[in-house]
Amino acid sequence: MILKRYLYKEILQNFFAIFLVLILIVISLRFVRYMGYVAAGKMTAEIIYQMLTLRLITSLSLIVPLCLYLSMFMALGRFQRDNELVSIATAGLGNRFYFSSILQLASLFSILLFFLTMYIFPWAEKNIDLLQQKANRESDITGIKAGSFKEFNRGNRVLYVEKFNRKTKTMENVFLQVNEQGKTGVLTSDSATIKTNEKTGERFVIFLDGKRYVGTPNQLDYSITEFHRYSLKLEQQGYDTTFHPISRAPSKALLYNWRENNDPTSVTELQWRLSTPVSILLLSAFAILAVRLQKDTKGSLLFISAILVFFIYNNLLNISHDFVNRGKAPAFPGLWWPHLLMMLSNLSLVFLPKIKQQISITKK
């Protein structure tokens, strides 16, 4: 029991050290990207921290398995270098001790990730969608600055305001140019305000007390209209609010579609959500076998090899997921063949020492 706690302490210390470094890297990269969006008027500063939190939650599906896997390599590698594995073996504790102890720890992380992938990650993805829709709706406001031009609808509408109050969303001395169906319209107004339809989310600019000039460039057919109130819809762009990826769907709905409708996309998504908990167990077994097998390998080389194995395994899962989604591979075996390859790799590490021993005996 004491040795098990000692082993867990070593693994978890390495885990939290690597986890903290990766989390800081992810947060800093995401924060810089979102600040760029704010500067470009594509996002408001108010939703940055919400987006960071949700993105951080979804990134745990990659960060947690990687941290646990590398922490096991680091802990067992140090035991190997300091001959602690030999000392533990002399106490009568061999492979069974390592497998039972480490796989118990890996099982706890696997259960945690099962809960995250099946329930928390879809919820986070759904809320990210809602925030992106909100950012898309409000990008029309965030890009408007007093004394500068703002383009809408891919440059077909250009707005200029002399004064702009962000709190009340009111503008003074407004100029608007509209290109539509080969004609150019120019609108000037003393004041304007931005209104939102609460039911549909559509945004309108309401111009008050102004003039509207419409005509064809280089021709004398312009018409001039004076108005007291003129409404213009701001067409939203850059994000399709009608598209809802299946990764946002609740796991309960996926199970229903699988059982009742035999939906292949639901089956694929369920396999994808289960792949992370399964991969933790297989990677943990690989870490134990690889460290015990490579007794004469340098720690740095073993660590680099461990990283390569992880990303090869993860990329194979992503490739199989992409193939099944595109219909280039059947739903079964679907995403299970990378797990099978990893399992075969573990089995090869189990029998490789015996094969080497048999070959050496034969040569003698």
pLDDT of residue 28: 92
Q: How confident is the model at residue 263 (pLDDT cuts 50, 70, 90)?
A: confident
pLDDT of residue 66: 92
- Whether 313 and 195 map to the same domain: the answer is no
More confident call, 351 vs 124: 124
User: Is 128 within the bounds of a domain?
Assistant: yes
Q: 133: helix, coil or strand? A: helix
Query: 364 to each of 357, 359, 360, 361, how far by Cα in Å?
Result: 11, 9, 6, 5
What span, in angstroms and rounded, lies between the C-alpha atoms of 142 and 43?
Answer: 7
More confident call, 21 vs 324: 21
Helix, strand and coil percent figures for the chain, each rounded to 5? 65, 15, 20
- Whether 128 and 185 map to the same domain: the answer is no
What span, in angstroms and rounded, lies between the C-alpha atoms of 166 and 144?
Answer: 9
Where is the domain boundary, 196, 215, 234?
234
More confident call, 306 vs 68: 68
- Whether 130 and 156 map to the same domain: the answer is no
User: Is 341 within the bounds of a domain?
Assistant: yes
What span, in angstroms and rounded, lies between the C-alpha atoms of 321 and 334?
Answer: 7
Confidence check: pLDDT of 137 > 70: no
| pTM recorded for the entire structure | 0.73
Confidence check: pLDDT of 238 > 50: no
- Can you state the angle between helices 48-81 and 95-115, rounded to 10 degrees? 180
User: Is 186 within the bounds of a domain?
Assistant: yes
User: Any long-range contacts for 351-360 (C-beta under 8 Å, 24+ apart)?
Assistant: 352/293, 353/293
Q: How confident is the model at residue 241 (pLDDT cuts 50, 70, 90)?
A: very low
- Whether 35 and 63 map to the same domain: the answer is yes
* Residue with tokens 């990764």, as numbered in its chain: 247
Bridge partner residues of 122 (DSSP): none
Where is the domain boundary, 216, 234, 252?
234
Confidence check: pLDDT of 229 > 90: no
- Whether 22 and 61 map to the same domain: the answer is yes
With beta carbons less than 8 A apart as the criterion, state whether 127 and 54 touch: yes
User: Is 228 within the bounds of a domain?
Assistant: yes
Expressed as residue numbers, the domain containing 130 is 2-138+244-363
What average pLDDT does the chain have?
Answer: 79
- Whether 150 and 275 map to the same domain: the answer is no
Q: Tokens representing 309? A: 């194995």
Q: How confident is the model at residue 294 (pLDDT cuts 50, 70, 90)?
A: low
Where is the domain boundary, 179, 205, 234?
234
- Whether 8 and 119 map to the same domain: the answer is yes
- Whether 192 and 260 map to the same domain: the answer is no
The number of domains in the chain is 2
DSSP H/E element including 310? helix 299-325
User: Is 214 within the bounds of a domain?
Assistant: yes
User: Is 225 within the bounds of a domain?
Assistant: yes
With beta carbons less than 8 A apart as the criterion, state whether 210 and 232 touch: no
What span, in angstroms and rounded, lies between the C-alpha atoms of 353 and 168?
Answer: 75
Largest CA distance in the chain: 105
User: Is 26 within the bounds of a domain?
Assistant: yes
More confident call, 87 vs 10: 10
Highest mean pLDDT among 60-69, 86-95, 153-162, 290-299: 60-69
- Whether 133 and 149 map to the same domain: the answer is no
More confident call, 267 vs 108: 108
Q: How confident is the model at residue 279 (pLDDT cuts 50, 70, 90)?
A: very high
- CA count, 13 A, side-chain hemisphere, 362: 6
- pLDDT tens column, 152-202: 666 677 878 888 776 777 888 888 887 766 677 888 888 888 777 766 667
- Whether 121 and 260 map to the same domain: the answer is yes
- Whether 306 and 339 map to the same domain: the answer is yes
DSSP H/E element including 150? strand 149-152
pLDDT of residue 300: 66
Q: 167: helix, coil or strand? A: coil
User: Is 239 within the bounds of a domain?
Assistant: no
Return all residues near 113 (Cβ < 8 A) that are at least 6 apart: 60, 61, 64, 65, 276, 277, 280
Confidence check: pLDDT of 242 > 60: no
Average pLDDT of the residues in 71-91: 73
> 61, 63, 54, 62: which is closest to 24 by C-alpha?
63
Average pLDDT of the residues in 304-318: 88
What span, in angstroms and rounded, lies between the C-alpha atoms of 80 and 328?
Answer: 44
What span, in angstroms and rounded, lies between the C-alpha atoms of 30 and 125?
Answer: 16
Average pLDDT of the residues in 232-255: 67
Q: What is the DSSP string of 183-200?
A: EEEEEEEEEEEEEE-TTT
> What is the DSSP-derived secondary structure letter of residue 219?
S
pLDDT of residue 65: 92
Q: How confident is the model at residue 353 (pLDDT cuts 50, 70, 90)?
A: low
The sign of the dihedral angle between the CA atoms of 235, 239, 240, 244 is negative
Q: Tokens representing 86? A: 């030999």
Average pLDDT of the residues in 325-344: 83
Mark residue 16 as left, alpha or beta (left: phi above 0; alpha: psi -120 to 50; beta: remaining). Answer: alpha
- Whether 56 and 115 map to the same domain: the answer is yes
pLDDT of residue 282: 92
More confident call, 260 vs 73: 73
